[in-house]
A and B are shown apart, each in its own frame.
Chain A
Amino acid sequence: MNILREFKRGIIQENAVFVLLLGMCPTLGVTTSAFNGLGMGIATTAVLICSNLVISMLKSVIPQKVRIPVFIVVIASFVTMVELLMEAYLPDLFKALGIFIPLIVVNCIILGRAEVFASKRGVLPSMLDGLVMGTGFTIALFVLGSVREILGNGAIFNQKFVAEDASTIIFFILPPGAFVALGYLVAIFNRMKRERSETDN
């Protein structure tokens, strides 16, 4: 198994946000700043790795007809654990992400990876899959959060680089701006991917 190729798959070919367009609720909701995007991405990655691990271990004892309820119970437990740990040890990030942490449960990437990957493969490949898909998700959220923070607040990682009272494009911080920014990023991403595949041929 080529680890580098796996990462390329998770980050570029099957990027959860830019290619599969999965998990749009946290993607659009929390990416008001680079820090929030990064935090959400890492939290999701942690849940993804843990749930992939447990589900790949349990795959031979889960009856086919109740697999989805079992997946959801496992995922929801890990999300709640991440939520409690974050509230205890990273209170600032917890405050910033708020309602979106419980919503990791309904992030389709996690259930999707459990269904198409972890329930059919071994433990190590499943954990690696969680890591690479989570990394792709994190990078996408970080890029989207950075773009929105730079345009909307004139800042990056809360460090303002424009005057305090300068007017910025607030639109990009608000929900509609998330859709527009994501649309442009998907377009740029597709363009880059196409150019790559053309040079490869």
Chain B
Amino acid sequence: MVEEKKGPISSNFFTMVFVLTIVAVLSALALGLTYVTTKDRIRLNSQLETQRAIRKVLPSNYDNDPTRDRYTVSDEEGEALSCFPARRDGKLVGTAIKTYSDEGFNERIELMVGFDPDQRIIDIYVCEQSETPGLGNKIGQASFIEQFRNISLQQVPGFELVVGREIDGITAATISSRAFCDAVNRAYRVLSRGRKR
């Protein structure tokens, strides 16, 4: 009872429901307003991020917009992967594929892998990873990614990169290294499947 006297408004059923409803409605309005004003900018950011990744892994001599020519190919698990073809004068000069692996230590690893027309790896960009800092997150380091450059998966046994065979894993981060290879292998399978069709 003493507590109730402290409140400037008495806590009866009507005031409680009324005040809480008003506060919730006003909050929802403010939220909606913020969402509408930031929506476009957020979408633009993610597009810019994709374009940055594509530019990193493809040769710079293309003249089309790979994000506009995007097509999807589904992998064995039925998930659709985005492929970004780069063309010059209508001729294919490379394909960037946004690939993933769920074999990582924490959450999904997402990579952008660029292939030249001979299906050789041009470069790889790490879009998303939450591997252990100091150990697994070294998959983003240039010294690790460099190993993949110019590899043609067609000439690799089983068409698959294996840690310890073609690729030197990162010390104390075998799982992350394997997941990285898994994502690259997936990109290659999608690339050759998209080609067959």
Contacts and interface: CB of A to CB of B under 8 A. Distances in A.
Interface of A: 32, 58-67, 69-70, 73-74, 76-77, 80-81, 84-85, 87-89, 91, 98, 152-153, 164-165, 168, 170, 173-174
Contact of A66 (B11, B30, B133): B11
Q: At the interface, is chain B mostly helix, strand, loop or mixed?
A: helix
A12 B38 CA distance: 37
B27 A88 contact: no
Contacts of B16: 63, 65-66
A81 B30 contact: yes
Given A73-B24, A87-B45, A63 B31 contact: no
B132 to A, nearest CB: 7
Most chain B CB neighbours (cut-off 10 Å) among A64, A85, A173: A64
Nearest to B28: A77
A190 B141 CA distance: 40
Contacts of A62: 7, 9, 19
B80 interface: no
B164 to A, nearest CB: 20
Nearest to A62: B19
A163 to B, nearest CB: 13
Given A60-B9, A73-B27, A66 B41 contact: no
B20 A153 contact: no
Given A73-B24, A77-B31, A174 B10 contact: no
- Looking at B3, B20, B23, B35, the one whose CB has the most chain A CB atoms below 10 A away is B23
B84 to A, nearest CB: 20
Interface string B170-190: 000000000000000000000
Contact of A64 (B3, B35, B45, B133): B3
A70 B23 contact: yes
Contact of A77 (B11, B15, B30, B135): B30
A63 B19 contact: yes
A74 B41 contact: no
Q: Lowest 6 A-B CB distances belong to which pairs?
A: A64-B7, A170-B134, A65-B11, A77-B27, A88-B38, A88-B41
A34 to B, nearest CB: 14
B42 A88 contact: yes
Nearest to A86: B38
A193 to B, nearest CB: 32
Nearest to A76: B27
A151 to B, nearest CB: 11
B7 A84 contact: no
A196 B35 CA distance: 48
Interface string B10-44: 11100110011001100110110011001001100
B63 interface: no
Nearest to B142: A164
Given A58-B23, A87-B45, A174 B133 contact: yes
A73 B23 contact: yes
A91 B6 contact: no
B31 A80 contact: yes
Nearest to B40: A88
